[in-house]
A and B are shown apart, each in its own frame.
Chain A
Amino acid sequence: MLADDKLQNVDQDQVHPEYATGFSVEYHEGYKVVTVTKPWRGSDESYTYVLVKPGVSPPHLGKGEEIITIPSERFVSLSSTYLPYLPILGITSSLKGVTNTNTVYTPEVMNLIQEGKVIDVSGGGSGMATGINLETLIDLNPDLVMTYATGQPEYDAHPKLQEAGIPVVLNAEYMEEDPLGRAEWIKFISVFFNREKEANAYFEKIKNEYQSLEKSVHFLNGTNPTVFVNNNWQGTWNMAGGQSYVAELLRDAGADYLWSDDTTTGSIPLDFEIVYDKGQNADYWLNPGTAMTLQELLGEDARYSEFTAVKSKKIYNNNARVNAGGGNDYWESGVAHPETVLKDLIKIFHPEIVSDHNLVYYRHLE
């Protein structure tokens, strides 16, 4: 347990992002300032939070700065992607509310849900952020709510929560396209609980693992296998952009992603015929939607059988860990463990490097 009164410049007790580009932390005598520079796509405003110990008021408050009292002891998470970090930082017990309990995958959190110690604050369903039951949330009396924002008022929960006087911070990890950058938001979360030390130790570990895997792929001779991702739906194929999270992972795993030259970060809606033209002879096909078996995939569109990757059965889907509610752990603990996702991908493309690894998030469609 860190002493609260030691918010001073002790290196291990401070976090500074190396890969993440969306937040920064400044440490002052007695308080910290956290800035989220780009909370959503196309946003031109940044959010600044001033973190203080109970009963302490910061020396000055700039325009638009919000005071958050830390460490948080009644925490509500409105996205399942923050949950895997709580056990890592040793703060699972401060979690009081989550959304969509039926899709949560993190075991420590699931236990708390079953014990009734963590409450579902969704509006009964699991749609957009509008599906939040504000009354349940207020009733929990949270001292910190963490959520994400899309910039579309009809989906975003934070303005409503601020109106209700609930301390809310925006987490923009989903904007990071670098897998390590995305996982580095563990540091952002740690700041609100004074757990910087644990965050630093964890991130150092996965960073080293990720980079050594990356290096081992680098030293390979020979050509990289070609790959394309996602699937056709009603004639339109949403391909991951060349600068997206998925594309970065494929590159780091030593695969030649066919849309690598593309410059977008999100996904691009393509004509099925373009994908067929470019991808018919590709070696691998990854993440083809919701299919759990090859038969299911071919049932979706008979034209898939023309792909070489289908003929040679080199199709892998990232849904090996999906629970009954449809929650996919690839988007939960997978975000916190980019090194494991990378290992999965290397096992698929270059099995000789990680021969003792068994696939965690990926399944081979047979």
Chain B
Amino acid sequence: MIFLLLSLIILFFLELVLGSVAIPYPEIVRILTGQGSSHDSWIMIIYNFRLPKAMVGLCAGACLAIAGLFMQTLFRNPLAGPDVLGLSAGAGLGVAIVVLSAGTAGASSILGNLGFFGSVGIAIAASFGSGLVLLMILAVSKRVQNSMTLLILGLMFGYTANSFISILMHFALAERIQAYTIWSFGSFGGATWDQIQVLVLFAVLGLIYSISLIKHLNVLLLGDQYAESMGLDLIRTRNKIFIITAVLSGVVTAFCGPIGFIGISVPHLCRALFATANHCILIPACILLGACLALTADIIASVPGYSITLPLNAITSLIGAPVVIWIIFSKSRNGMEVSV
């Protein structure tokens, strides 16, 4: 745990030090300690480009990892992640409606003057979309006892949202399709300070609240029937977990676009690292490791020293997938199977 914390601190600094613009290390220290710099633009780059990006990456990684852990525990399914409820797809639909209509004269004058094509507008649209899917899930959840049924329903909501996105894309202008595609690549660099405050607030509140669920989560691992016999109000607990997952993953998707793989892979990594299923350990571990993975991916995606960038989403999968594969193989060699 200490090692994870140290790694996180180092990665956070690396995120500030490494970037396309080469800023000497002593200058960065001077800028961060408020002593100014010989280049005004460097101060601007550190404070308005890299620091926000690092903060967003940290929060996004932590939130997604926790959301993934909760989904895997709730559905007792090692393949579950924050996107199984269809929330990311819902967010994507909200964004598609706004982004794909941009550039047409009618939409531009109305939405544009509301500032809707900016990152704030995109965030609002995404939250709205994932919120709508969440309401549907909660409405259905009251009637469904079995968690596995809900998992299927969530996937179906996701497919439905995605098919609407396809239809919208079919009718959109080519350059707007490109804009939507870029959003779907994911990025920590699109958020500005006023939005980061919102993201950090939600992330901190969500993560604190998640600690209160530790006991429930541990009981859930033993099975729905057993949990109920222990006096757990299954539906209420389930709804709490849904809401927190929706807030955590929804707010990240809103500001960063869909970031793949962190949610599904980090819980597995933590279980392997700490050899435990106890959420008391897993929650802080997921927060730290999720943030580490997100920052690592972002540092690679910004290709330090070069001016080009790579799609963040591709990098998260590229560094996450081999690790998970390795864990699965090393576990099977020891006669163990992947579990939740």
Contacts and interface: CB of A to CB of B under 8 A. Distances in A.
Interface of A: 103, 123-128, 131, 233-236, 268-274, 276-277, 280, 290-293, 295-296, 299-303, 306, 322-326
B113 to A, nearest CB: 6
Given A127-B174, A324-B106, A234 B307 contact: no
A57 B249 CA distance: 66
Given A127-B177, A233-B182, A290-B103, A273 B108 contact: no
B274 to A, nearest CB: 34
Nearest to A277: B21
A276 B121 CA distance: 23
Interface string B288-306: 0000000000000010000
Interface of B: 19-21, 41, 44-45, 48-50, 53, 102-106, 108-109, 112-121, 169-174, 176-177, 179, 182-183, 185, 187-190, 192-194, 257, 302, 307-309
B41 A280 contact: yes
Given A269-B309, A323-B105, A326-B105, A303 B172 contact: no
Contact of A293 (B112, B120, B192): B112
The listed residue with most A CB atoms (<10 A of its CB), out of B41, B121, B182, B307, is: B307
Contacts, number: 134
Q: What are the 4 closest A-B residue pairs judged by CB atoms, nearest first?
A: A235-B189, A299-B115, A326-B104, A125-B171
Contacts of B115: 295-296, 299-300
Contacts of B102: 290
Contact of B309 (A131, A271, A301): A271
B309 A299 contact: no
B20 A324 contact: no
A301 B195 CA distance: 11
A293 B19 CA distance: 32
Nearest to A302: B192
Contacts of B257: 234
Nearest to B108: A292
A123 B19 CA distance: 44
A299 B45 contact: no
B171 A235 contact: no
Contacts of B173: 103, 126, 326
Contacts of A276: 41, 44-45, 49
B199 to A, nearest CB: 14
Contacts of A236: 182, 187, 189, 309
B108 A300 contact: no
7 contacts: A126-B171, A126-B172, A127-B172, A235-B53, A273-B45, A302-B192, A306-B44
Contacts of B48: 303, 306
B117 A234 contact: no
A270 B170 contact: no
Contacts of B41: 276-277, 280
A67 to B, nearest CB: 32
Nearest to B21: A277
B293 to A, nearest CB: 19
Given A234-B182, A234-B189, A324-B106, A271 B118 contact: no
